[in-house]
Structures are given as structure tokens and as C-alpha cells.
Structure 1
Amino acid sequence: MARAIIAGSGRLPGLLLQAGPAHLVRLAGVDSDPLETPVIEARFERLGTLFADLKAAGIAELAFAGALSRPAFDPSLMDAETMALMPRVAGAMMQGDDALLRTVAEIFEEQGFKVLGALDLRPDLAASEGPICGNPTDAQTRDAARARAVLEALGPLDVGQGAIAAKGQVIGIETLQGTDAMLRFVGVSLPGSGGVLVKRPKPGQDLRMDTPVIGPATIMKAAEAGLSGIEIGAGGVLILDREATLDACEAAGITLWAAP
């Protein structure tokens, strides 16, 4: 069964290719890494062309991988299929990321493609429950519980996958700008807080389209923000380059663990 990876930026598309041969869909305007695999060129505005190219290549399964920003559509480039879908997509874009990505998945499924998640292809990239680097202190677990409670409360609003708490106070909540922007804000506004970042899927999130991710860069940015620990959702967050991530934790003195 032929497979395609619709590639965003970062290392994840290459890691998913390690699960088996696949075509790479390279979207115009997206800075994806060059990889040794057959490539299908595509544009957001020409979904009808993409559907036809995927079917011509015998693609039956799709996986979305890597960071993708919300696209800016050029109406002059749209094909008829995309034009017909725009009211539906535009309505979803007015909601949170999960609602938009669910709509995208539905559109591809209606074309006969099976949509897979990163965890379907590489479950080994997720962590099981327990310490990963160091053991969290009681204060860290209390802060993590506080941040986790806020994420659970915000879940129905489809807001974000991360929050930071320090000394019992929530000091950062991830929104559309993403985790890096949240960490920068905390580092500038409350340097040296010693807080804990919690990164986990939103309650009920469709993990096929957007699985939370951490990697060495996350650890370095958490350290720069003055944090002391990171809790991730067990089985629901990808660790990219685990060895380098653990090395970064050791070097920065960041405690990393996974919780249900």
C-alpha cells in the first residue's frame, strides 16, 4: 500500500520515512528538508491537482509531519476543487488548530485516502510514563499538576498544548503563536522562575494531524526561559532525537518526565 508524507518543516518527515518507503509531498512556500525519496510538488491553492497526483502515484495512505503555518491563499491560483472547498476551510480556520486540522483530514478521507498519525508510524518516538532525565521534586510535580489542570480546563476551547506554572501560579499558556513564543514571553517577563512546562495533547485532540513534539531545541529554550522541568504526556508526545534531548537536559539541569 503506497504512502505519502505531507511535509512541513523540521526533522519529523525524515523520521517517518524510516518507517517505510513513501513519497514526499513538498508544499510551495514550506521550508521542508530535502530527502531521498520520490517527491510530489503541491500548492495549498491546488488541492484538486494534489488529489489527482496522489491517486496517479497509487497513494492510499497519508501522514502529515512537521510544522505548518496557517496558509495564506492566493485566490488567483485556486483550482475549481479548492475554490469549492474554501467556505468549509475558511469556517474551520475561524476555530482552533484542532478543528482546522480535523477538517483537512476529513477532506482527504473523502477523497479515499487513509490518514495516519506520526504515532501510527513511529510509536517508538513517544515516552512511556516515568522519569526520562532526573526525578521531579515535589514542588515540580505540584507545578506540573497546576499547569495540567489549566490545559484540561481549556481543552474544549481548542487553545494550546502547553502551559507553564511556577510556585503554584500559571505564568504561561500556549496559544496560536506556539510553544517557543510562550517560552520567550516567560523568559522575558519572569526570568529565573524555576517553573515547569507541561506539554501534552489537548483533551480529545486528533493526534493524526498534530502530535505534540519536543526535542533538543525545546530543552534549550526552556533553560533560557529559566525553567527547571518539563512534563510531557506519556504516549502522546514525540521526542525528536532522544539522545540529544537527554544530553541537553543534563547540560541545562532540566528534569524531564512523562505522566499520564
Structure 2
Amino acid sequence: MLALVTGTGALPSVVAARQATPPLICALEGHQPDGLEVELWFRLETIGTLLHRLVERGVTDVCFCGAIQRPGFNPMKLDTRTMPLVPTLAKAVKDGEDAALRAILGLFEKRGMVVHGAHALAPDLLPPQGVLTQTQVRDDTDAQVLSAEQVSVEQGRADEGQSCVVRDGQVIAREDARGTDAMLRGLLDRPVMPMPAANDDPFGAAMDFVGDILDDAADWLSGPVAEARAKPAGGIFFKAPKPRQDHRIDLPTIGPDTARAVIDARLDGMVIASGGVMVLEREEVVRLLDDAGLFLWVR
């Protein structure tokens, strides 16, 4: 029997739909997957009980899929089946996100379950290699990708995000814990400074405010990275797995929302790692990019 341990988004329902027998749906509390009815809810503090229930239900295979925000941890909510696992989990969390994920996989494997990647259960999620859009890559894309790949390696070593944006050979945005969409939105956002209270010297307060704005503008417009970021358009979105990442869990995913965000950011196109990034609603992603004159290169 297959169990899907899910987060939010459309990926869990896509994987479930590809199975001949409906899988058991388990979800982290607060992470409702799109279009699926959850049978078992759990918390990190009760993962021991989840494991026990899966064994009781005869689960032999498990797949982790869907987006998860880093959960909080309340020691007061630990149950008796999870308490013996705390030292293992605590050490893994201390060693970083990837180590924590591997430790969780190990808990399921120790109970005889085989862990599968979402792409193994739904192979069509991995697109073929090549340019999938009618829009072709720009002449400078190879150089941009080389810069992006270097950043991807650095981010992986630091246990950080899986995507970045490169313009004119300069990295102008890096994914952090807030995710890909937040990174792309950040390219459009400019900080708005509130006018300070005038108090007894309204003229002086106003001049201080203008001075702060000019200082920020100077910082924004100085240096090659700032100059590249200040341009209104151009560049590539790049996404790839972290080096040495376990592809059975946390494999990067893009979909129509990512394509729309890249279009809104006025980039030239998207480059994703072949065999390492899943694409939801591929036809819609390609249509959106073609309509906007952007490319999708599976490299």
C-alpha cells in the first residue's frame, strides 16, 4: 500500500491521480493539499504515532510531495511514540535542512517502507531535455547559466534555496526560506519609507527623510549587481536541485504560477536542470511563456 505524505499545492493530487490504487493521504497539520481528502493528519511532534499507524495500515511504500513551510515545534505536544525519536531529529535539525529531511526518510525506512520520489510515481512530471517553447534562447544565455550554476552550488553547500535570477552575469536574486515566488516578487518590490514624525522641526525631519532616500538610491545604483538589478527587464530564472540532494524528497518544482511570476518580472526566460526539476501543467507553462515571448530551456 502506498501513502502520500503531503504538503500544499497541486503536486500531491497529480501523483495520486497517476496511481492505479488510491493512496493513503497523510498531511502535515496546516498543509492542506489541493483537491485531496486527508485521512491522517500529523504534526512533527506526533510523527512517531504516524509511523505506527502506517505500519498498522500495511503501508509498504511512501512518497513525500507538496510544499511545506518549516513547521514549529512544541515540546508540550510530544506524544509517547515520538519522544524516543527526539534525539535523532534534534541532531538532524542542528545539521541543517537536508540532514533533517534525510533523518525523516530514515525513520520510515527503518520501519520497512520504501521511499519513492514523486517523479518516480509520475514520470511525466520530468520534462524532456531541450527548449520546449517556440521562443528560443538568447545568445547570452549560456554565460548567464554558468553564473547561475555557480550560485546554485554555493546555495546548496549553504543548505539554502534552489533557484536564482541572473541578469548581465550578475546574480540579482536568490531564493531563501520564503520560496521562489517571494524571490520573484522581490524583483518588483521597492521599499516604501514612511515619512517620519516632524516633532518640533518639520523642515529638519523632511530633509533627513530626503537624505535617507538619496542614500538608499546611491546604494541601489552603485556596483555591478545593483546596476543589473536596476534595469527594468532581462535575465534568466534558474532552478536546479542542490548538489548531492536526495531526489526522493524536496525535488524542485515549477508550474504556471512560476511562469506568471517570471513574466511579471520581465525576464527573458527560464532554465531548469534536466532530470532535476518537475513541471506541473507543462502545456500551460509553455503556452504562457510562448504568449509572452519567453523561453523554457530544460538543460
Name the TM-score, length of structure 1 as normaliser. 0.92
Change (3 A) 1:40 1:220: same
Question: Aligned to 1:81, what secondary structure does the other structure show?
Answer: coil
One-letter code aligned to 2:117: G
Q: Identify the residue that residue 198 of structure 2 maps to in structure 1.
A: none
Distance in 2 between the 1:155 and 1:50 partners?
30
Q: 1:104-253, aligned counterparts within 5 Å?
A: 104-133=104-133, 134-188=135-189, 190=229, 192-253=232-293
My pick for the range that moved more, 98-107 or 25-34, is 25-34
Gaps of 5+ in 2: 191-228
Distance in 2 between the 1:257 and 1:226 partners?
17
Q: Aligned-pair distance for 1:55?
A: 1.2
Change (3 A) 1:214 1:76: same
Task: Give the structure with the larger strand fraction.
Answer: 1
One-letter code aligned to 1:99: A
Q: Identify the residue that residue 80 of structure 2 maps to in structure 1.
A: 80
One-letter code aligned to 1:257: W
Q: Identify the residue that residue 57 of structure 1 maps to in structure 2.
A: 57
Q: Aligned-pair distance for 1:169?
A: 0.9
Over the residues paired in the alignment, what is the CA RMSD in angstroms? 1.8
Question: Aligned to 2:62, what secondary structure does the other structure show?
Answer: strand
Q: Aligned-pair distance for 1:19?
A: 2.6
Distance in 1 between the 2:76 and 2:42 partners?
16
Q: Aligned-pair distance for 1:81?
A: 2.9
Q: Aligned-pair distance for 1:95?
A: 4.1
Distance in 2 between the 1:62 and 1:137 partners?
41
| Matched positions, count | 257
Distance in 1 between the 2:94 and 2:182 partners?
21
Looking at CA atoms only, which structure, 1 or 2, has the larger radius of gyration? 2
Distance in 1 between the 2:81 and 2:70 partners?
19
One-letter code aligned to 1:115: V
Q: Aligned-pair distance for 1:63?
A: 0.3
Gaps of 5+ in 1: none
Distance in 2 between the 1:224 and 1:91 partners?
41
Kept in 1, the 8 Å contact 2:27–2:40? The answer is yes
Q: Identify the residue that residue 5 of structure 1 maps to in structure 2.
A: 4
Deviations 1:228-258 (A, max 9, x none): 1110011111100111111211232221111
Kept in 2, the 8 Å contact 1:220–1:252? The answer is no
Percent identical among aligned pairs is: 37
Change (3 A) 1:75 1:200: same
Distance in 2 between the 1:9 and 1:125 partners?
17
Q: Aligned-pair distance for 1:105?
A: 0.6
Q: Identify the residue that residue 29 of structure 1 maps to in structure 2.
A: 30
Kept in 2, the 8 Å contact 1:140–1:229? The answer is no
Kept in 1, the 8 Å contact 2:55–2:111? The answer is no
Distance in 1 between the 2:256 and 2:30 partners?
25
Kept in 1, the 8 Å contact 2:48–2:85? The answer is no
Q: Identify the residue that residue 14 of structure 1 maps to in structure 2.
A: 13
Question: Aligned to 2:12, what secondary structure does the other structure show?
Answer: helix
Question: Aligned to 2:245, what secondary structure does the other structure show?
Answer: coil
Distance in 2 between the 1:94 and 1:194 partners?
39
Distance in 1 between the 2:297 and 2:58 partners?
41
